[in-house]
Amino acid sequence: MTDKYQGFVSSPIGKLLVKNLGLPNPTKLDRYTAGDPLVQGTVLVGGRGRLAESLPGLLDVLGIASVGEQAEGEKYKGLVFDATGITTVEQLVELQGFFTPLMRSLESCARVVVLGTPPGLVEGSEQIAQRALEGFTRSLGKEIGKGGTVQLVYVADGYEDSVLSTLGFLLSPKSAYVSGQVVRIGAHDETHGSALADWTAPLAGKIAFVTGASRGIGEEIARVLHRDGAKVVGLDVPQAADELVKVMNELDGDWLTLDITAPDAPQRIAHHLKEKHGGVDIVVHNAGVTMDKKLANQTPERFGKVLQINLEAPERITAELLEQGVINANGRIIGVASIAGIAGNLGQTSYAASKAGVIGFVDSLADKLKDGITVNAVAPGFIITQMTAAVPFATREVGQRLNAMSQGGLPVDVAETIAWYASPASTAVNGNVVRVCGQMMLGA
């Protein structure tokens, strides 16, 4: 599945038309290849606050080279600004002071990360100033250009050392299609640390269960979790058994074929994971369907089916796995929502309800989970798969261009985001919904 427009604009005729007609000209995004350093270039660190002093050391653990001063003529692959020291509204101008001189010194696909304090945990002018950071980062994400991304990471007081896995993700090409996002770090359980012995195989020894794993985004999730060291147990419907077995054989994984809406599906999944693998560390609820129709033409069967597959099944399966204690300590539950669940979409009342419900699912569990188990979700935008190949051409073109990257994302972009949540070093990343949408103009 490819982006034909992107191929066209890099041809000689395409280049000419882009120049003369002002057509969008998407940058080829950097993507991560196993074995690469996380950042191919230098990161400049600035700002003042709770993290500034420890940042160079943290980046060093990740093998990322950093400097503290801008040098004449140098280009930077990343900028990290500690804004936790901004405690009054007047101090917000420090953002302009730091970033403006650097905006023309960024390499393509540069990464910008601003670190703040969760506004809800402070008061008065500090609360106002910290909330203002959202508007700053989201706007910078829309103007950085050349495949660059900008994120805001709110780090709760006392969790300064828990930012490692998040910095590794947000500064690397793994976050190619994630921009304008706000991530919250602050664990509910401190007994499960943020340290990792091997950053190249963070999931070694882990069992990862992925639904809808025979193709599309689910297949890529299985591949990336396998790359990171996990043993993958893929699930899909019996009709997709051949494709599923093929993928799982390739990944030295295990499989299970059933319809997740079957009444006994939660029990069968729990039994399989417990008996064959002694439990599960990572549960990814990826299987999903669309059955689009305007509400005026909708039937109860179709409306209900979408809700059953996308929302009820993840809820029931998770409840069973938790009740039976099948999810191991420091486990990960990961939902797949959609930007349709945030912004709504024409013809998608059932799909958007199911996907907004996935966000509700995260909210309902985030404060209740014990033993370092976390719950988070991704909300993909336009990802080039068989699901989106079925979208009519004009709608598809609009979907692909209406974002800060002027292109659709790839399944691997969703998978990398899930791998970041899945890392044992991400215990402090809980209750988040991160969009993988190239900063789509729709919604927040």
Chain residues in the site for ligand NAD (CB under 6 A): 211-212, 214-218, 236-237, 240, 259-261, 286-289, 309, 336, 338, 380, 382-383, 385-388
Please tell me which residue in 32, 177, 351, 421 is annotated as part of the active site.
351
Reading the block at residue 174, the tokens are 């793994």
- Of the two residues 266 and 372, which places its CB atom closer to ligand NAD in the complex? 266
- Of the two residues 318 and 385, which places its CB atom closer to ligand NAD in the complex? 385
- Of the two residues 161 and 292, which places its CB atom closer to ligand NAD in the complex? 292
138 within 8 A of 128, measured Cβ to Cβ = no
| Shortest Å, Cβ 376 to ligand NAD | 15
- Nearest alpha-carbon partner for 102 in 56, 129, 68: 68
- Nearest alpha-carbon partner for 309 in 363, 350, 343: 350
- Of the two residues 41 and 335, which places its CB atom closer to ligand NAD in the complex? 335
- Of the two residues 23 and 391, which places its CB atom closer to ligand NAD in the complex? 391
387 within 8 A of 216, measured Cβ to Cβ = yes
- Of the two residues 75 and 305, which places its CB atom closer to ligand NAD in the complex? 305
| Shortest Å, Cβ 111 to ligand NAD | 23
- Whether 351 is a known active-site residue: answer yes
Residue closest to ligand NAD (Cβ): 288
The enclosing H or E element of 361 equals helix 349-366
- Nearest alpha-carbon partner for 104 in 69, 131, 135, 76: 76
For the chain, how many residues are written?
Answer: 444
> DSSP strand E in 51-196: where?
66-67, 76-82, 106-116, 149-155, 181-185
The DSSP line for 147-161 is T-EEEEEEE-TT-GG
Question: Which residues is 238 bridged to in the sheet?
Answer: none
Residues 6+ apart with CB under 8 A from 155: 50, 51, 84, 115, 116, 117, 118, 162, 163, 185, 186
Residues 6+ apart with CB under 8 A from 23: 9, 17
Q: How far apart are CA 328 and CA 279, in angstroms?
A: 6
Q: How far apart are CA 155 and CA 158, in angstroms?
A: 8
Q: Which residues are catalytic?
A: 351
